[in-house]
Amino acid sequence: MLLKTLVSLGLTEVDAEIYLLLATEGPQKGRNVAEVLKLYKQQLYRSLKRLQKKGLINATLERPTRFSAVPLEKILDFLIEAKKEQALALQESREDLLSRWKILIKKGFTDS
């Protein structure tokens, strides 16, 4: 259920699996995450980088780096806010999109 919810909110399945592992098991080294989820090192670190950019996980400065999940409450608030912003942007551009659509219809899609 949580995996599907995170995927529906825009995470890849691998990203969601990594997040859930870190959230339930606590801070982990990349190697441990790769072993548990049976991921290739390159795939793992791409996902970790995406999760860090989105602010969903943290990484320590120590070596080896340990990764930890940001609390789910914060993640859900962040993802909900992002979806609200997307909806607002779409709503704000609605009239412009509809007028452009009408122009396309009149021209018969010949030039855009």
The token duo for 29 is 């080294």
| CATH classification for the domain delimited by 1-70, as one of 3.40.50.300, 1.10.10.10, 3.30.160.270, 3.30.420.40 | 1.10.10.10
Give me the residue spans of the domains in the chain: 1-70, 72-112
pTM exceeds cut of 0.85: no
Residue 101 CA: distances (Å) to CA of 22, 95, 110: 46, 10, 13
Query: What pLDDT digit, counting tens, does each position of 67-106 carry?
Result: 999 998 887 787 788 889 999 999 999 999 999 998 888 8
C-alpha to C-alpha distance for 82 and 105, rounded to whole angstroms: 32
Residue 47 CA: distances (Å) to CA of 65, 85, 107: 15, 24, 45
C-alpha to C-alpha distance for 72 and 19, rounded to whole angstroms: 9
